[in-house]
Structure 1
Amino acid sequence: MASEEVFLSTEQIEPALRDQYWRDVTQPIADTTAVARRGGARLAGTLVSRMFGEMLLLRASFNAQEYRRDRRMIEQSSLDQYIVQFVQAGSLVGNFAGIDAQAHAGDIVVVDLGQSLSSRVDEGASFAVVVPRAELERATGGRNLHGEVLSANKGITHLLADYLVGMHRVAAHVSAPQAIVVQDALVMLLAAGLLGAPHAGGERISTQSDALRRRVVQYITHHLTDHDLGPESLIAHFRISRAHLYRVFEANGGVARFIRDHRLDLAYRALVDPRSSGQSIKEIALRHGFSSKDRFMHAVRQRFGVTVREIRMGDSKRKTIAHDLSCLHGHFARYAVPRKLSA
């Protein structure tokens, strides 16, 4: 099922059940409510989902709705990728972890599923792709992308919009190896557009803090498995105050959390990699910067909601969404309805 397109629509659901149906469909991403209007408000929408290599393609239409993604939902869903969304029709206004931003028809907006969000959309439609975090952050030098908007009046935005729409159109005819190349090209195009775009709201963080964050992220990436990597070593290396370091990573819950989560992401890949099957849990823990097996196992359970052994045995069906988008696609598939011929 993961490679097949699935179709979801409130139109084919009993009217009395539509609100709950759409809330259940969107639950892994956000708590969804209808925008209050005279005569009552009902949720309505359609969604098409398809796996595309390591990415997930989403095409949607919807009425006026509000979305909320808080820290509790972030922890429960474990989603931590980026959504790159082309606003085909309608508009979006939101607060992205403390920064106000808005996107209109023709714009492209980036949403970091690892950060909080409160937004409202008008009736409209969108093309979107969910992309892995590591590749996009590497291409943009660790820049905080949450709420970044590429304006419709920029040439690179038109190019990216055409590319996104084209991906959806040809997805059924692209092989897995080709999809990886397409993903790399998308990331590079997006990075090119973002590097020339102002921060959302024009005041996300200072230019100096932005540059510092890039340097710190690069340093963390290169020293992720070092056992002495932490706030103290970063403060000493970059000669900055603890308060300044925390402010730069405040949207991530602090630099210690940023390091821990990235270590866990790397360790997760080792746990599911058959080439690491001969390594003990303790060896994997120590190799990825954790001081003990017990600390590692507790951190895994806290972040992913399953045990290390369940991950190795392939039983972590509910909480592996962050590392296998086919699980999110599978969630949508459970709510699929037959597509009408006129759709």
Structure 2
Amino acid sequence: MTTEDISRVPHSVFSLDAVPVAEQFDVWRESIGCLFEVDVPKEHRAEGFRAELDAHVIGDLAMARTHTQAQEWARSSATIARDGMDHLMIQIYEAGTMEFTHRGREQVFGQDALVVFDLAQEMRSRTSDFTNLSLLLPRPLIEPLLKQGGDRHMQIISAQGNPLARLLVDHMTALKSLASGMSLSQATEASAATLALTAACLNASKSEDGQGEAGIAFALLVRARQRIAEHLRDPDLSPARVARLSGVSRTRLYEMFEPFGGVLAYIREQRLRLALRMLIDHRFAEQPISAIAADCGFANDSAFSRAFRARFGTTARDMRATPAWAHRRGREFDRDLDRRYEEWIRLISA
């Protein structure tokens, strides 16, 4: 295995080639579980399963090209609550199709278009064998650039007759092909340009208005999550204060955060994720763990230690010493699997 050039953008290629045929789908499901729940008919699993995911971290963004077999995909409320992912994901399909139902309408998505996923919302889809390209954009970076609100989840933007959509499709394809040769400073500039181009494309494309009770409820949830993010480091942040900041009653707030295990559970999860990012970030290597805990809004060290171990299965000290926290089962083939992309997806700016 060659030593990775740390002056270049991080690059990971996950492949099942070294995995025994009978275990290939289970390993794929375990790995892609960082984003989606997947399933295929049992009779197809014994025949072996093909999947490859080629990922780069480009500044504050992540890009991945996925090539895999037909399967079912889902992000359930349980998955959303567990991973706390708060990104938009833009996909283009280079081969194959995706079928899904959204707001009572069945749709088929294929080539020459973009589809927008809001990873804070539930989704279910079915895909044929496919190759696609995914761009993950942290919500705090893209939302300030959008000129209109509205729910963009599962929005399809055709590139036919749409110059900005065509430009974004071409840009994503070119960016992925050039990413391996980029320096970290070049990636930072490319990241900013990609965010601006994506915002321009979304601003020029009509979004779902998100009106009605469901749309209003989601808009309120987004606002409450934003207020929590703004005040996350304050140890005195409480449900009552979140409700005041968000302009909703406490009863409504509790209803909104029920899928996340409650408001306090959501706040604790976001604080733990922030602490995790700081622990493995070399910029905070000299900062005491107790200071990191306090900076993330934990009132005392013992509460932080208990919560961290319960969430990640290890201590904060051990995490800092060995940040490869997606621990493996010790299978013989695990050493040949490059699963770093899972950690990158979790830890890009959020």
Contact 1:103–1:149 (CA<8 Å) still a contact in 2?
A: no
Counterpart CA distance in 2 for 1:312 and 1:70 is: 31
Of residues 273, 295, 306, the one that matches 2:303 is 295
Of residues 274, 277, 280, the one that matches 1:272 is 280
Residue 99 of structure 2 corresponds to residue 93 of structure 1: yes
Could you tell me which residue of structure 1 aligns to residue 250 of structure 2? Answer: 242
> Given residue 109 of structure 2, which amino acid in structure 1 is its aligned partner?
H
The DSSP-based 3-state class of the residue aligned with 1:187 is helix
Contact 1:70–1:116 (CA<8 Å) still a contact in 2?
A: yes
Measure how far apart 1:188 and its partner are: 2.9
Of residues 135, 151, 159, the one that matches 1:129 is 135
Residue 233 of structure 2 corresponds to residue 198 of structure 1: no
What value does the CA root-mean-square deviation take over the aligned residues?
A: 4.3
Question: Alignment identity in percent?
Answer: 27
Of residues 157, 168, 176, the one that matches 1:151 is 157
Counterpart CA distance in 2 for 1:318 and 1:184 is: 29
The DSSP-based 3-state class of the residue aligned with 2:232 is coil
Counterpart CA distance in 2 for 1:161 and 1:37 is: 36
Counterpart CA distance in 2 for 1:28 and 1:235 is: 30
> Given residue 6 of structure 1, which amino acid in structure 2 is its aligned partner?
V
Flag structure 1 segments of 5+ consecutive residues without an equivalent.
320-328, 334-343
Q: 1:282 to 1:45 in 2, by over 3 A?
A: closer
TM-score if structure 2 supplies the norm length? 0.70
Q: Any idea what the Cα deviations from partners look like across 1:119-174, whole Å, max 9, x if unmatched?
A: 21123321113444543455559979783323215443322211111111211222
Counterpart CA distance in 2 for 1:238 and 1:270 is: 27
Q: 1:233 to 1:128 in 2, by over 3 A?
A: same
> Given residue 64 of structure 2, which amino acid in structure 1 is its aligned partner?
L
Counterpart CA distance in 1 for 2:64 and 2:106 is: 22
Of residues 109, 131, 134, the one that matches 1:104 is 109
Q: 1:252 to 1:13 in 2, by over 3 A?
A: closer
Q: 1:45 to 1:302 in 2, by over 3 A?
A: same
Measure how far apart 1:80 and its partner are: 6.1
Counterpart CA distance in 1 for 2:53 and 2:236 is: 46
Contact 1:34–1:43 (CA<8 Å) still a contact in 2?
A: no
Contact 2:21–2:49 (CA<8 Å) still a contact in 1?
A: no
Counterpart CA distance in 1 for 2:43 and 2:210 is: 29
The DSSP-based 3-state class of the residue aligned with 1:225 is coil
Of residues 167, 186, 189, the one that matches 1:178 is 186
Q: 1:95 to 1:294 in 2, by over 3 A?
A: farther
Counterpart CA distance in 1 for 2:11 and 2:94 is: 24
Q: Any idea what the Cα deviations from partners look like across 1:297-317, whole Å, max 9, x if unmatched?
A: 223233333321122223443
Q: Any idea what the Cα deviations from partners look like across 1:197-227, whole Å, max 9, x if unmatched?
A: 4349876833x55554554444333322222
Contact 1:45–1:63 (CA<8 Å) still a contact in 2?
A: yes
Counterpart CA distance in 1 for 2:229 and 2:340 is: 33
> Given residue 173 of structure 2, which amino acid in structure 1 is its aligned partner?
V
Counterpart CA distance in 2 for 1:239 and 1:16 is: 53
Is the deviation greater in 161-170 or in 276-285?
276-285
Counterpart CA distance in 1 for 2:340 and 2:323 is: 19
Of residues 161, 175, 188, the one that matches 1:167 is 175
Counterpart CA distance in 2 for 1:237 and 1:77 is: 25
> Given residue 293 of structure 1, which amino acid in structure 2 is its aligned partner?
D
The DSSP-based 3-state class of the residue aligned with 2:185 is helix
Q: 1:288 to 1:44 in 2, by over 3 A?
A: closer
Counterpart CA distance in 2 for 1:71 and 1:218 is: 19
The DSSP-based 3-state class of the residue aligned with 2:310 is helix
Q: 1:160 to 1:302 in 2, by over 3 A?
A: farther
Could you tell me which residue of structure 2 aligns to residue 6 of structure 1? Answer: 13
Contact 1:45–1:61 (CA<8 Å) still a contact in 2?
A: yes
Contact 1:49–1:56 (CA<8 Å) still a contact in 2?
A: yes
Flag structure 2 segments of 5+ consecutive residues without an equivalent.
5-9, 328-336, 342-350
The DSSP-based 3-state class of the residue aligned with 2:339 is helix
Q: 1:103 to 1:34 in 2, by over 3 A?
A: same
Q: 1:253 to 1:159 in 2, by over 3 A?
A: farther
Q: Any idea what the Cα deviations from partners look like across 1:279-322, whole Å, max 9, x if unmatched?
A: 44333323322222222222323333332112222344317xxx
Counterpart CA distance in 2 for 1:27 and 1:253 is: 20
Q: 1:122 to 1:147 in 2, by over 3 A?
A: farther
> Given residue 231 of structure 1, which amino acid in structure 2 is its aligned partner?
P
